Amino acid sequence: MGETATRTLALLSLLQSRSDWSGADLAERLGVSDRTIRHDVARLRDLGYPVDAVRGPGGRYRLGVGAKLPPLLLDDEEAVAVAVGLRAATGVAGVEETSARALAKLEQVLPDRLRRKLNALVRATSAGPVNTDSNVEDPEVDAEVLQTVSVAIRDHEGLRCDYRGEPRELEPYHLVAWQRRWYLVARDPRTDTWDPYRVDWLRLKTPGGRRFTPVDLPEDLTELVVREVARTGWAVHARILVDAPAEAVVARINPAVGTVESHPDGGSVLVTGGDSLEVVAVWISMLGLQFHVTDPPELVEHVRELARRYAAALPAPFPGSTSTAAAPR
């Protein structure tokens, strides 16, 4: 490749790496004169790249928005990082197939030395299970749903949807990815309440809702998601009576696990949940405090069954032992 073509590609790479450059900075980076930069910019425009410029001593350049996607120039580390990221793409329905197509195109144009690096990295590594805290499969979110919701957020368009079987019209504000789930933080204009809504539980309707004028946010939206999901965002909800003051329980839990209230008769109430009875039972057993399960009935029965299993797992008492332990009834 000739010196001029190589320099032009280097100039294009710089313009893609940052939104704004002065002519002097570009000239210094490429080791040429300001005049050469102007000629190379003109050459890029002739090739169809929209390079915007502000003339004058402090002239600046930026790569404008074109009608089609130009070739993307990546350095070695960037190319390998993109390829690894595409291989790891999970959690959104449809993205795996799209990522595979994009990866195939990228690998096809990678220089042989980079392709060998990438293949060595792939062969030398493996990943353990992403979700090890639940016996429930991670939900997948349709990429088209995420796109529709994000555009509605941008354009302040309401969403008409069914959420867990109930019709709703929501004002969408923000998407939060947390615990391998997607949540939409939205305002219900009928009640002026803010809540996180699991995107995989949304069933969008067309046409969408009415345009709305945004109002001030009540608090940090990520904190709202963490707190409210612990209270309402699970498939299984439970209220656990704990024989300890609220302060002692709060000190032992992650805020994402649940919320704690003082009980008027003493002790406290842990409001928690999970995507399965098994997950909730594991969480509450890790408190290390005496607790009582009263609701929901399915959780009561599950804990009772666990108690039977644990009791049956204990060794039989030795002859003459004074142990009075017995399996729960």
Tell me the per-residue pLDDT of 119-142, one tens digit each, with 9 for 90 and over. 777 777 665 554 445 555 667 777
Distance between CA atoms of residues 23 and 235, nearest Å: 58
Model confidence pLDDT, tens digit, residues 197-214: 888 889 999 888 899 999
The CATH number of 141-219 is: 2.30.30
Confidence of residue 231 (pLDDT cuts 50, 70, 90): low
Query: What's the confidence (pLDDT) of residue 172?
Result: 93
- Mean pLDDT throughout 6-23? 82
Query: What's the confidence (pLDDT) of residue 71?
Result: 64
Torsion 11-100-201-208 (CA) sign: positive
In percent, how much of the chain has pLDDT > 90? 11
Of the listed ranges 19-28, 225-234, 256-265, the one predicted with least confidence: 225-234
Query: What's the confidence (pLDDT) of residue 329?
Result: 47
- Mean pLDDT throughout 86-111? 70
The more confidently predicted of residues 163 and 319 is 163
Confidence of residue 103 (pLDDT cuts 50, 70, 90): confident
Q: pLDDT averaged over the chain?
A: 79
Model confidence pLDDT, tens digit, residues 35-57: 898 898 888 888 778 888 877 66
Distance between CA atoms of residues 238 and 270, nearest Å: 8
292: which strand partners? Answer: 241
Model confidence pLDDT, tens digit, residues 151-169: 999 999 999 999 988 999 9
Buried b (16+ CB within 10 A) or exposed e, 291-302: bebeeeeebeeb
Confidence of residue 189 (pLDDT cuts 50, 70, 90): very high
Query: What's the confidence (pLDDT) of residue 118?
Result: 76
**Beta-strand runs (E) in the chain:** 21-22, 51-54, 60-63, 92-93, 141-142, 159-163, 166-178, 181-188, 193-198, 202-204, 236-242, 258-262, 268-274, 291-295
| DSSP secondary structure of 121-154 | HHHH-----S--S-SSPPP-EEHHHHHHHHHHHH
139: amino acid identity, one letter: P
Distance between CA atoms of residues 293 and 242, nearest Å: 9
Label the pairing between strands 92-93 and 141-142. parallel
CATH architecture of residue range(s) 3-63: Orthogonal Bundle (1.10)
List the chain domain ranges: 3-63, 76-124, 141-219, 236-313
Query: What's the confidence (pLDDT) of residue 136?
Result: 59
Confidence of residue 72 (pLDDT cuts 50, 70, 90): low
- Mean pLDDT throughout 102-120? 76
Q: Class of the 236-313 domain?
A: alpha beta
Torsion 14-15-19-24 (CA) sign: positive
- Mean pLDDT throughout 139-146? 78
Model confidence pLDDT, tens digit, residues 249-302: 888 876 666 778 888 878 888 888 777 888 888 878 888 888 888 888 898 999
